């Protein structure tokens, strides 16, 4: 094939990319313009609302999204799940979301303090458990064993809500020093902790009780934390302060807090705040 033909193809490709980009721009403009006139009843057939959700919420929010979308007053919901601290950073760097469901108040405060999000609502709570591989290579019998030197402990990082709660629990157990020894591998969300334990690479980890509902749960052994170290994780949901979809976004939050929403959360192991 000669150069001209190649060049022609390249130009066609660039044009196609350009056209596609323009279309997206138009759609965005439409999406941004409609809500001013729109009410809950016209939510259907519109662009979905975007919900940034803590990693531990992914399964329950996926189901919540499909149930909410199926309602007559519902809207399509797109869930983007990651560690809450990653989501907060992405929002601070300009990512757009209509709702932010954070696993702790601190990560929500990061985006609230700069005015990106409005005051949130607590909608669920969770608690922590210690997990080990089924064969328990580190011989962890009680949570105190986590302090044993040489044990391969995996936690979510200190900025990850799950990691912050886990460190608080260790502190209440009087073994916070165990995680300061620089021997803890840090994961960027709680799912990574469960995976490392399920793979058998780590001797122990601390995850949410609700994480045990996942497929990996059968491959780990669970050790409960004593009441004194039972840290309660509280989930907050807040709406973007400048979303054009405030009605739909508030609708989703209201649904989560409704009887139906609460029973779904309870099915997944979450408690009410």
Distances (CA, A) of 239 to 107, 196, 257: 14, 33, 14
- The least CB distance from residue 199 to another protein, in Å, is 7
Element of type H or E holding 206: strand 204-208
Name the residue nearer to another protein (CB basis): 184 or 247: 184
Which of 93, 218 has the CB closer to another protein? 93
Q: Least distance from C-beta 152 to another protein, angstroms? A: 6
Question: Least distance in Å: CB of 157 to another protein?
Answer: 6
Say how many residues make up the chain. Answer: 273
Q: Of the two residues 29 and 92, which places its CB atom closer to another protein in the complex?
A: 92
| Residue 267: both structure tokens together | 């099915």
Question: Whole-number minimum distance, CB 188 to another protein, in Å?
Answer: 6
Q: Which residues of 19-29 are buried (b: 16+ CB within 10 A; e: fewer)?
A: eeeeeeeeeee
Instruction: Please state, in angstroms and as integers, the Cα–Cα distance from residue 258 to each residue in 96, 151, 188, 204, following that order.
Output: 26, 44, 31, 37
**Among 214, 169, 172, which residue's Cα sits nearest to residue 190?**
214
- Nearer residue to another protein within complex by CB, 98 or 187: 187
Tell me which residues touch another protein (CB under 8 A): 3, 7, 83, 85-86, 89, 92-93, 137, 152, 154, 157, 159-160, 182-188, 196, 199-202
State the nearest-atom distance from the C-beta of 10 to another protein, in Å: 8
Beta bridge partners of 102: 236
CB of 80 to another protein, least distance (A): 15
Residue whose CB is less far from another protein, 75 or 85 = 85
Nearer to another protein, 137 or 244 (CB): 137
Q: Is 66 helix (H, G, I), strand (E, B) or coil?
A: helix
Residue 150 to residues 155, 178, 239, Cα–Cα distance (Å): 15, 10, 44
Q: For residues 164 and 265, which CB has a smaller minimum distance to another protein in the complex?
A: 164
Query: How far is it, in rounded angstroms, from Cα 117 to Cα 239?
Result: 6
- Provide the minimum distance between the beta carbon of 23 and another protein in the complex, in angstroms, as a whole number: 22
Cα-Cα end-to-end distance for the chain: 67
């Amino acid at each position: 094939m000669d150069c001209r033909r190649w060049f022609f193809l390249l130009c066609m490709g660039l044009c196609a990319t350009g056209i596609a980009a323009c279309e997206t721009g138009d759609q965005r403009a439409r999406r941004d313009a409609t809500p001013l006139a729109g009410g809950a009843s016209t939510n259907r057939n519109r662009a979905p609302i975007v919900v940034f959700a803590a990693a531990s919420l992914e399964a329950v929010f996926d189901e919540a999204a499909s149930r909410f979308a199926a309602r007559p007053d519902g809207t399509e919901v797109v869930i983007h799940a990651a560690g809450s601290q990653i989501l907060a950073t992405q929002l601070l760097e300009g990512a757009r979301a209509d709702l932010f469901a954070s696993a702790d108040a601190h990560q929500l405060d990061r985006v609230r303090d700069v005015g990106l999000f409005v005051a949130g609502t607590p909608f669920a709570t969770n608690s922590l458990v210690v997990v080990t591989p089924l064969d328990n290579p580190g011989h962890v019998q009680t949570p105190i064993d986590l302090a044993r030197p040489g044990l391969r402990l995996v936690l979510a990082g200190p900025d990850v809500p799950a990691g912050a709660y886990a460190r608080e629990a260790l502190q209440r157990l009087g073994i916070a020093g165990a995680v300061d020894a620089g021997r803890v591998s840090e994961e960027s969300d709680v799912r990574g902790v469960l995976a490392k334990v399920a793979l058998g690479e780590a001797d122990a980890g601390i995850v949410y009780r609700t994480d045990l509902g996942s497929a990996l749960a059968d491959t780990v052994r669970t050790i409960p934390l004593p009441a004194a170290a039972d840290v309660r994780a509280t989930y907050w949901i807040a709406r973007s302060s400048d979303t054009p979809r405030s009605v739909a976004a508030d609708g989703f939050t209201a649904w989560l807090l409704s009887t139906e929403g609460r029973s779904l959360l309870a099915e997944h192991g979450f408690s009410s705040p």
